[in-house]
Structure 1
Amino acid sequence: MRALITDPEAPGGLRLGETPDPVPAPDEALVRVTATSLNHGEASMARQGAPAGVVLGWDAAGVVVRPADDGSSPPAGTPVVTLGLAGAWAEQRAVNTGMMGAAPEDADPGAISTIPVAGLSALRALRRLGPVLGRRVLITGATGGVGRYAVQLARLAGAHVVASTGDPSAHGDALRSLGADEVVAGPDDVDVDEPVYGVLDMVGGHALVAAYDRLAPGGALVAVGRVTGEGETFPYTMLSGDRGHDRSIVSFYLPGESGLGPDLTWLAAKVASGVLTPQISWRGPWAKTAEAMDALLDRRLHGKAVLDIT
């Protein structure tokens, strides 16, 4: 089969070539991939040290061509959305049935392919906060793929959504159209007199510390992403006395989550019906992967990049 294969000598660290077809385990289905969406983490791996000759990629939409031998997958011909630690950048992938959801027949594969990392991370992280109906929730890095899903899902859950983006003048209207009630340039701009009940932080570094400082007593911050690559330093007084009372920081790791199949199916239905919008900002054939990765890693993309596998 054809695939994007890691190659340190190729432009962008990838080349389009031939690789053996995957051989599914009994609890895996074989899926013909029709679209894949790119994530910052896997793009960085392709450029910075992934072993030569492997097929990367986490997110993919496609169609089941061979059901799992143990009977746990949808039947052949079913459109699906899939998540895995590798293998999405290929014409076929073998997928554990616990990381696969059924998609509506008329769903756009490109839109559906944006769901696994971005949509699941936003959904599962939001659940960590507990009920948010009528509560203020801050989302940092709101213009990214996870952030945009998080804004929409928090609004669906009844939260008062505060979206943080580096350039509110450029992205404020788009974030409000997704459901943000307020748009700020950073956590430091959140009014200290109106603390937030919960935070979904996609940024790390100073943003995480500043967002934690805006938490109300009893609130929680879920650390979803750390795109800055910076460490976090907390002033001594922030974690002591009245200011530090009953607030928590929760780590998050999507591959460690279980029972993802039903959530993938639910998210696929919401995207297909238009309740959730995937916010695709770049889409093209996989022959132009290097172009998409450059834009993603240079932070010129706000939203998702989708490759159509043709």
Structure 2
Amino acid sequence: MRQLIPTGDVACPVAFAEVPQPVPGPGEVLVKVEAFSPNRGETFLLERPGPGWTPGKDVAGLVVQAAADGTGPAVGTRVVGHPPGAGWAEYAAVPTHSLAVLPDGIDSVRAAALPLAGITALRLLRAAGPLAGRRVLLTGASGGVGHYVTELAVGGGADVTAVTATARRGERLGAFGARVVHDLADAAGPFDVVLESTGGANLPVAVSLLRPGGTLVWFGQASRTPVTLDFFALLHGPERVTIRHFHYAGAPYGGDLAALVGLVAGDRLHPEIGRTADWSDTARTLIDLRERRIRGKAVLTTGGTA
């Protein structure tokens, strides 16, 4: 079968290769991949790929081989899955605890945009605690995670301020009901909760915008610049703030995927897909995603039914 593998070349980060079709383990199904969605973090890993690493964690398609242990869906079921990797391929082995069944109303393109970004958004909001009536600041808001967080938080009753680099990248967030600014200095605090994904110089500024006793949840470092915090500067800011480190990972993912599918089916969550293309265009799409030229998610189709 064909699979996209890392090249180590930042100008063309992946290339097609012929590889054996995966053999599913007892608790895995074999999925014929119809669509997949890369994540910006994967574009960074592709700059220096580790030995044997193959990307691909967000897939949607058709079950063509059921799990040998009897778990999971039957052959012919349409699913969305979050495998540990190797999903940019014609076929992928997906653990049954990391997939959800798709209803007829959700196509593979929208489904493929859900897993990593959607699961991150759900778990991030759980980490932040109840948000109804609370003031929330979200940095780096125009990516896939940011769109899901904004729509879900506003829908849950939060007063959301979203920071995006440009007005165009913030248009849809404003339509959700968020207050959109393009410079962190323009965010009018204080905030009860800050969801911070950029790192670098932004995190200390974001901390200063918290109310006393507020919480900052640090879930990314998109700037790729380390953070420096000054203890004495914090003494002149809000008191008793909490900074929490967050990472979404931790299987099983099936329950969260099912919840995301249910929200989409119920017209309560709307994936923002800034580009849909054939997977022959994956290399260019990865570069544009890395350079933030795509708003929301990008989805690649393999030529199967989507």
TM-score interval, normalised by the smaller of the two chains: over 0.9
Q: Distance in 2 between matches of 1:25 and 1:117?
A: 22
Q: Is the 8 A contact 2:11 2:287 kept in 1?
A: no
CA deviations 1:57-107 (Å, max 9, x no partner) are 111111222222222212222221111231110011111222212221231
1:210 matched to which residue of 2?
A: 205
Q: Is the 8 A contact 2:213 2:239 kept in 1?
A: no
CA deviations 1:183-231 (Å, max 9, x no partner) are 112332222xx41111221211122221121112332211111111111
Q: Distance in 1 between matches of 2:11 and 2:159?
A: 45
Moved more, 118-127 or 3-12: 3-12
Matched, 1:91 2:97: no
| Aligned pairs (5 A) from 1:242-261 | 243-245=238-240, 247-255=241-249, 257-261=250-254
Matched, 1:297 2:290: yes
One-letter amino acid of the counterpart of residue 290, structure 1: A
Runs of 4+ deviating beyond 6 Å: none
Matched, 1:177 2:170: no
Does the C-alpha gap of structure 1 residues 241 and 45 become closer, same or farther in structure 2, counting only changes over 3 Å? Answer: closer
One-letter amino acid of the counterpart of residue 293, structure 1: L
1:226 to 207, 221, 236: 221
Q: TM-score, normalised by structure 1?
A: 0.91
Q: TM-score, normalised by structure 2?
A: 0.92
Does the C-alpha gap of structure 1 residues 13 and 258 become closer, same or farther in structure 2, counting only changes over 3 Å? Answer: closer
| Aligned pairs (5 A) from 1:148-187 | 148-167=147-166, 169-180=167-178, 182-187=179-184
Question: What SS is found at the alignment partner of 2:100?
Answer: strand
Q: Distance in 2 between matches of 1:269 and 1:148?
A: 17
One-letter amino acid of the counterpart of residue 136, structure 1: R
Give ranges in structure 2 of 5+ residues lacking alignment.
Answer: none
1:240 matched to which residue of 2?
A: 235
Root-mean-square deviation over aligned CA pairs: 2.0
Question: What SS is found at the alignment partner of 1:3?
Answer: strand
Give ranges in structure 1 of 5+ residues lacking alignment.
Answer: none
1:123 matched to which residue of 2?
A: 122
Shift of 1:161: 0.9
Matched, 1:38 2:33: no
Moved more, 69-78 or 88-97: 69-78
Residues matched between the structures, number: 303
Q: Is the 8 A contact 2:136 2:192 kept in 1?
A: yes
1:188 to 185, 189, 202: 185
Say which structure is richer in helix. Answer: 1
Q: Distance in 1 between matches of 2:138 and 2:9?
A: 39
Shift of 1:54: 5.1
Q: Distance in 2 between matches of 1:282 and 1:144?
A: 12
Does the C-alpha gap of structure 1 residues 10 and 142 become closer, same or farther in structure 2, counting only changes over 3 Å? Answer: closer
Matched, 1:105 2:104: yes
Q: Distance in 1 between matches of 2:245 and 2:206?
A: 15
Does the C-alpha gap of structure 1 residues 213 and 15 become closer, same or farther in structure 2, counting only changes over 3 Å? Answer: same
